[in-house]
Amino acid sequence: MNQKRGLTAEDLYRFVWVGAPDVSPADGRIVYTQRTVNEARDGYVTRIRAISADGRTDKFFTSGEEDGSPAWSPDGKTLAFTRKHEGKRQIWLLPASGGEAEVLTDLPDGAGSYRWSPDGSKLLVSSQTDAESEESDAKDRNDDDRSENDSDKDKPLTETVIDRIRYKGDGSGLWNGKRSHLYVVDAASGEAQPITSGGFDVGSFAWSPDGSRIAFTAYIPEDGDETDPDLLLISDLYVADADGGNRRKLTGSDWSVGQMSWSPDGNRIAFFASDRSYHNATLTRLYLISAEGGEIACLTGDRDLLVGNLVVGDMRAGLGSPDPIFAEDGSSVYALFTGQGSAGVARFAADGSGHEVLLGGDRDVYQLTPDHKGGFVVAISDPLNPGDLYRFSPGSREEFRLTDANGDWLGEHELSAPESFRVETRDGWKVQAWIMKPVGFDAEKAGKVPTILEIHGGPHMMYGHTFMHEFQLLASKGYAVVFANPRGGHGYGQEFVNACRGDYGGGDYRDLMDTVDHALAHYDFIDESRLGVTGGSYGGFMTNWIVGHTDRFKAAVTQRSISNWLSFYGVSDIGFFFTEDQIGGDAWQDTELLWKHSPIAYVQQVRTPLLILHGEQDLRCPIEQAEQLFTALKRLGRKTRLVRFPGASHDLSRGGHPSLRVARLSHIAGWMDDYL
């Protein structure tokens, strides 16, 4: 019998990711996306599969390379999905009986998200279009509109004129002068009619139940308002007629409104929103408002309850949280929630009388869609499973597993199950943490083992009961892994998540050191002389901060990090507002404050060997942050190395090129091996 082994970096090529379930109202079939790695092309293949209502058959339903966002028509006779056509992502239609899919839309800049109209005759589609304002002068003439066969050398170089402060975005690059707007597309002819336009972007949107109105989010400056919209993190809720006319604003421009849904009778709208009372650290809550406007009611009576999924993992990128879902009788609203290291499903009374957790436990529920029979299909991950689909009944609380996407090959491996523990910090905070023992750990034979502290990004995110390839890799190589949610993380209430603002490197740093101390005191197999530390984004900032303030770690790997708040302010796609919100100042009036909280200010104190990993196209934490730190350390003669990942954005670890994801994991493990 073959002995099981732990995971390797190269096992990334074997993972299967499932998501985006949608249930047919006609026969109960469940379509979902299956994503796998195409190693030969160093990319991914995403196709749509269909599971029968009884769960007995599960087979491919489409055969494209990048098929996504499946959605059944209201009568269940047609499946819509997205696929590229002539280089642009468009909407395609496929009969429920199968056959050849046909492209429906021919939008010049492709189709984004979409919704079927209630009668199935139309689709509401988001797409980019040229901004109808002077901002269009800032169009990036270097965007990728030219075909792949065009040669750069045959094109004259042209300048890029920029008038917006938010002129770039991580993953999307320089702003192309276009805005996201809504179109109504005829489901038979594909004819598209624009229903919004102007110098603003539409975010979320939804049809009313009778199809006569739409709701959407945007920040639309009013006449005479000279405030730069780019300086505001606001999105209002609007209702308009189905043709875009008679537009009415329901919120007062002091909210950040996200997804929404209409009540079955069309009289109310439930929506996720932040009231911005704690700025960037404000919890997202569930609200209800009349479709005609008026008083806004909060359905999350517990002020410390966070709706949506904010669990950190390295298996999924850009997934977001599903919309709120009304019960068929309109008496309650279902939504995901995040708390205490888990993400689950809760039911909120529409009269505001309270909520009930329906699906909880030590796991990560990351998708939720109704099955049209009072139940749901959910996608769930846990520390030993990257994710599968389940049918769930709120009444009986029964779960039925629909997929086992990674069962066969993961069954060949031994995984490490995290053990949760709680830390009371020196100033009285309660911190949740976990430890993973090395794969194959035998307390009697192991002796002392090297241990690595992992630090999540955000900082307003949360480690939790989900699958982490990176952690499993390190455990397979003989390391214990400790990870925690220090103050500033989500899942433990409003005061907790707000506690790091203005105090980066203060209480959050102490929480992590107290976590390490607690682990050393309670797990006698940890070798105090062989401690490592790593983290990405905010976790990279904290890794940089740690090695500038203590020598207790013998190896460190900083990933997509922040080293200098003064330069971060001007180079990051979020730098100007994030720095002001999180650190408390700007680069010209608060120079000393920003420098005080910059890890590079303490670079002369660094003695820990530090590996610096950074994507060259990271616009969230631009690579100059890594370059500054590397240059300073080399000039000081410290042990360091810089690894640059070409074409990689801030999302490298979750959705980057597979070969670079494997290389990243190998560099982390290799550096720890060298110094621990």
Annotate 59-115 with DSSP letters as a single string. EE----SB-EEEEE-TTSSEEEEEEEETTEEEEEEEETT----EE----TT----EE
CB 509 within 8 A of CB 549: yes
Question: How do 480-484 and 449-455 pair as beta strands?
Answer: parallel
193, two tokens: 């009619």
Determine the Cα–Cα distance for residues 306 and 239; give it in Å rounded to an integer. Answer: 26
For the question of residue 537 being annotated catalytic, the response is yes
Please tell me what DSSP assigns to residue 235. B
| Residue 218 identity (one-letter amino acid) | A
Q: Out of 181, 469, 490, 650, which one is annotated catalytic?
A: 650
Determine the Cα–Cα distance for residues 349 and 390; give it in Å rounded to an integer. Answer: 24
- Distance, first Cα to last Cα, the chain: 33
CB 623 within 8 A of CB 656: no
Whats the size of the chain, residue-wise?
676
Q: Which of 324, 321, 367 has the alpha carbon at shortest distance from 32?
A: 367
Q: Which of 577, 547, 585 has the alpha carbon at shortest distance from 563?
A: 547
Annotate 350-396 with DSSP letters as a single string. TTSS-EEEEE-SSSEEEEEEE-SSS-EEEEEEETTEEEEEEEE-TTT
**Cβ partners under 8 Å of residue 592, min gap 6:** none
133, two tokens: 């304002």
User: If DSSP codes are grouped into helix, strand and coil, which group holds residue 35?
Assistant: strand
Query: To which residue do tokens 């929103």 refer?
Result: 273
Half-sphere exposure of 413 (CA within 13 A, CB side): 22
Determine the Cα–Cα distance for residues 356 and 30; give it in Å rounded to an integer. Answer: 27
CB 126 within 8 A of CB 113: yes
H/E segment holding residue 579:
helix 575-582
For the question of residue 650 being annotated catalytic, the response is yes
Q: Out of 332, 381, 537, 567, which one is annotated catalytic?
A: 537
CB 463 within 8 A of CB 515: no
| Residue 165 identity (one-letter amino acid) | I
19, two tokens: 């998501």
Question: Per-residue b/e over 379-404, b at no fewer than 16 CB within 10 Å?
Answer: bbbbbebbbbbbbbebeeeeeeebbe
Q: Which of 652, 519, 502, 511 has the alpha carbon at shortest distance from 585?
A: 502
Query: To which residue do tokens 């630090």 refer?
Result: 455
CB 91 within 8 A of CB 98: no
User: Annotated active-site positions, please?
Assistant: 537, 650
